[in-house]
Structure 1
Amino acid sequence: MAERDGSHGSAGEVIARLLHLLATEAPGEAFDRLAEAVESGPPTAERDELLVAVGRAGRVRELLDHRKRREKETHALFETARDLASLRDVDEVLEAIVRRARQLLGTDATYLALRDPGAGEVYMRTTLGTVTRAIESVRQPLGSGVGGRIIATGEPFATADYVNDPRLQRDRAVTDAVVEDGIVSMVGVPLRIGDQVVGALFVANRYERAFDRSEVALLSSLADHASVVIENSRLFEHAEATARRLRGANEVLAHQGRALERAGAAHEQLMPLALRRADVGELVEAVAGMLGAVVAAVGVDGRVLASSGEGPLPDDLPAPEPGAVGAHEARPGTWTVPVRAGAESFGHLVLVTGEPPEARLAGPDVRTLERAAQTAALLLLMDRQVSMAEQQVRGELVDDLLADREPDWRAFERRVRRSGGIDLRAPHTVAVVSADGVGRRALLHAAAELAARHGGLATEHAARVVLLLPDTDPAAAARQLPAELGRAVGVPVTAGVAGVARSAREVRDRHREAHRCLRLLLALGRVGEGAGTEDLGVLGLVLDGTSPKQLRTLLAESVAPLERYDEEHHTLLLPTLEGWFATGQNPRAAARLLQVHPNTVYQRLDRIDSVLGHRRWREPDGALTMHVALQLRRVLDHVPVEELLPTTSG
């Protein structure tokens, strides 16, 4: 065809050229050049008709182009719908939608933003085509920026120049991220679930560009698919949560059913144990088998009485809170329940399930544990009653033995042989104990249990609790009795100890010695300790070989003059002397203890020299004598001299 020299050739050639351009899907520029060539010819009717033909051919080309684009878009939407059915992961589907939006619209970047109802903000869920990380973590208030505006208004929005568009409210941090990523133009559409706008899908370019309606429509179609994905995800999560709750409820019901069956079986097993007076070990073994757990019975002193079950028993067994009623979970997987009869405690049961913390003990199992504690209390109470009856029979013998009046030894020995409960020919340690803040009956019960564990006995005599412990070292008894009995009754226990006695007569003598040691400990303020005469130091040695006359003479020559002087002159010589000895004969330390000036202590010590008429009391022998005299004076305030000394001769 001749387009040279401004000629366009014949009409047939022009038509042939048009058909060739249409057949080869030539670009619009080719049609424009052909139209220019035709128009350059002489104005004739034929030329005008050819120009109309070229224009119509260009329109056909545009229609074919549009149809091809629509076919491509339809295919993309079909592929997206197929993704909804084939892809199971929500993120995968959303990423596929974002990727197709970028491909179909030919943009540099694509974003999918969602609304955070709790924070009242819009955040990026999925991004594609970004070149910086800042824009991937953008969060902005509703109404701010393109995404915030779309979600707030529910309307599409397009801008050819994001930074300078006066219609936008921009967040500084978001604007910085957009500029850093090089974004200039963008268009977005809302994601809707019903009437609620939950997010926005938008595309962006790094140059100025205007978006036409067809592009907005295509983006809206893709946004509708994304909305379906998000809603389906929400419904699926809700369905999964409901299914989990139903499975949990079924498991709980099944667990409760099994627990009810165990509770019924437990009742059938616990009652026979109580009726045949089984011991605590049998009870613990039965409960461990019923509940499939490790069970331990713990005494009031923290000692494990019995345990059973597969698995280890924790070293630090928890105890119920004071005043606790019923079973409770002391820590995950470990339960405790008090063993109590009325107001009296026998200890507690500990159950270790060995299950994870979220697997709690079922209600029927809790009641089984509580019923087992009641049965344990009944068994222990019956054991105690039997033990107390036996202790009472033997205690009467001991009470007669320890009475002020010496027994008829032949008659007494016959009673001992008939009772068969005690052999006083075996070596025994004798202890006398006391405790403030707890009744003697509770102390006697604790002492009886301790004595029974050692094969001995405990009784009450002269308002004191007395223990006879066979084959027991007196020094060990002095150490252990205050500690063990103190744990059992919950208050400090003081113990006077004497031994070893190998006959009824010696038991009688050792009792008086132990009772004297107890009174000395209390008089010296050593509450909560245990001691024998040899543990009292110099004071014990002095008392062991001193007569009342010698004792009175010692006091008359040492502390009595100072005591009279303090009464007559309202001074504090004796307290100063006690403070001086308590601080190792250090005047300045004594001044700090007495809260006086050191010069005051020096003056009082000089006054003591004057009252006594000598300074020998400051020398080693005299200081020892004075120190012992001060202790004896304190003791005699609580114990009469006739009771203090082992004999009344002299």
Structure 2
Amino acid sequence: MLDPTADTAARSAPGTAEDLAARLLHLLATEAPAVEFEALAAAVEASPPGPRRDEMFLALGSAGRVRDLLAHRRRRERAALALVESARDLASLHDVDEVLDALVRRTRQLLRTDATYLALRDPDRGDVYMRITLGTLTRAIETIRQPVGSGIGGRVVATAVPFATADYLADPRLRRDPDVTDAVVEDGIVSIAGAPMRRGDEVVGVLFVANRYSRAFDTAEMDLLCSLADHASIVIGNAELFERAERTAAELRAANEELAERQRALERAGAAHEQMMPLALRRADLGELVDTVAVMLGGTVAAVGTDGSVLVTSGDGDLPSPLPEPPDDAHVALPGGVPTCWTVPVRAGDTSFGHLVLVTDEVPSDADVRTFERAAQTAALMLLIDQQVGAAEHQVRGELLEDLLAEREPDWTALTRRIRSSGALDLRVAHTVVVATATGVTRAALLRAATTHVGVRGGLAAEHDGRVVMVLPRPDPDAVARTIAVELSRLTGGRVTAGVAGPADTAADVRARHREAQRTLRLLVALGRDGEGACPTDLGMLGVILDGTTQRQVRALLARTVEPLRRYDADHNALLLDTLDAYFAAGRNPRAAARRLQVHPNTVYQRLDRVDHVLGHRRWRETEGGVTMQLGLQLHRLTTQIPLEELVPAPGT
């Protein structure tokens, strides 16, 4: 069978040496790929032996040398162009990191390597660490550090001479660090070359190229790598010069700013009184005062309460932790340290409202100290006014809510008039009622959190019947239920449970929704759902049933399901109800129920049979009967904590 390749080569064989020369010149002129030269060589190889064939082989050899020379010149041109581009980057004064990144990318492209790294010498530790990596497959290479004299980087730093190896792991010239070797193996690196980055007689870093196959780097490639490393050295040297120049300029600016600041401080002291007193007279909030003082003094200002909590802060700086204690007298305290942290007490007579904290990068002038003290006096006046007004408003709103929710039905006309005149509630919009309790914190703390909540969002908050009640101007009780417990828990640091009901469009509706929210709260607690907020509809099937049933129906359901078993447990010291709870909780799996009860499975089977005997039927094991039994168990748990009369109010109540 004939070889088709040989046949093609024979058909493409040149007729004469002149024809071959013409074709070679054409291939060289068009920069044809190597495969076409190889095809032509195969055609000559297939031609008959003789002088003409020998001449053709000589022509092919000459063409090969010309092609190699052209390829070498193209590489030199690319290298020269790269160096010109790098020099252009240096002259353009770009960001240092951008220039180094561009140089590393260009090095990888020119030398056609799998990866390129730029490592710097740590002036404190003396070793070499990676600054930029490109083409790595793992993070191990990015984090290695090479001691001086170890590995290629350490060797280049120690000798200031470029170094290349075709096989890093097998090269006997290298002293390898185990951690670096592990990183090289993990990344698959085989051949590596490195060139020193010099600044004067000092080596400040190394520029590396690496491949994941064995490769010997020739002299031209190493010369190019060294040239690019020199450019990287210039970039880093320029960066240090620029940094030094910027520091000098900054020192000059600081000296000039100090003179200007003295002038501004004098101007601020004269304007401070004119800016702060109107804030107190128009009852601005403490946050506006703190913002004003922060701008005047050019620092970070915080108002701190008597319990050490930050009430409000303004400015870009960070507050110290822990916050400084307030001074014992009425003067500014000056703790040491930089930045400076100053405090001044906020007092009105014998009443303390906490203190102000000022954090600045410079020691304030005498004029600033007087401004800071005047700010504390203004803050005391504002807080005293707010305290007195707030106490009066709280008393009015508390009395209003107490009358609205009292056991005895109020005079609705008079109460509605009081609500309208007080401005506590705007009954032109729908409201949602919340009844909340908390564990882990006091009721006073919960009331403060509720007052804070309504202070931001509007509404009314007060204490009634041992619980905190909120009336919020929101028509969406479901949305309130999803967020209110979480919000109050965050504000108090405790675990808040909230019953929610609504919407309410009139004062009478608010009263009715309060009872629904109160009952929902008690159900949540009884069901073990502490820390949640819920509407009646969030109680699932139980909530729907309780809204549409009567006390007589609940008693009848309990008599058919739970009551016979409860009496049997009491008379025989048995655990039938506990076993049913575990059985249903385990998805009606007796063995899983036995694990919950920590008894033998046979014990559970025997108790379930006893349930059949006590009830006189097995319908409770079926789907419909099982739902009824689970409802009866849940109602039984509720009635042990909440009287049936409260759980299911009589019609009209």
Q: State the TM-score, normalized to the length of structure 1.
A: 0.50
Larger radius of gyration: 1
Q: State the TM-score, normalized to the length of structure 2.
A: 0.50
